[in-house]
């Protein structure tokens, strides 16, 4: 099984909303890796949580950098 570092194709066309992009990414994970929809959804949710945590970490780093100045 591949890990969350596997790159999924960017799906940014304006005509796709976030739910549609998630559905397409889930279908890619199901087709490419043989995951169930539940497993693919769980992985996408984990990826979203990790991205959110990384963003929060970056923002905190900027705040701390500002305090050091």
Give the pLDDT mean for 19-46: 88
Around 30, how many Cα atoms within 13 Å sit in the side-chain half-sphere? 13
Q: What are phi and psi of 24, to 5 degrees?
A: -65, -45
Spatial separation of the C-alpha atoms in residues 46 and 23, rounded to whole Å: 15
9 vs 52, residue with greater confidence: 52
pLDDT band at 18 (very low <50, low <70, confident <90, very high): confident
Helices 37-68, 18-33: crossing angle, 10 deg rounding:
120
- For the chain, the residue count is 69
Cα 21 to Cα 27: distance, rounded to the nearest angstrom: 10
User: Would you say the pTM of this structure is higher than 0.85?
Assistant: no
Which has more confidence, 20 or 64?
64
Whether the predicted pLDDT of 29 surpasses 70: yes
Query: pLDDT band at 50, cuts 50/70/90?
Result: very high
């Amino acid at each position: 099984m591949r890990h969350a570092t596997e790159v999924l194709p960017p799906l940014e066309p304006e005509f796709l909303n976030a739910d549609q992009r998630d559905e397409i990414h889930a279908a890619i994970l199901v087709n490419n890796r043989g995951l169930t929809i539940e497993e693919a959804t769980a992985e996408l949710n984990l990826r979203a949580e990790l991205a959110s945590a990384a963003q929060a970490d970056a923002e905190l780093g900027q705040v701390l950098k500002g305090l050091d100045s």
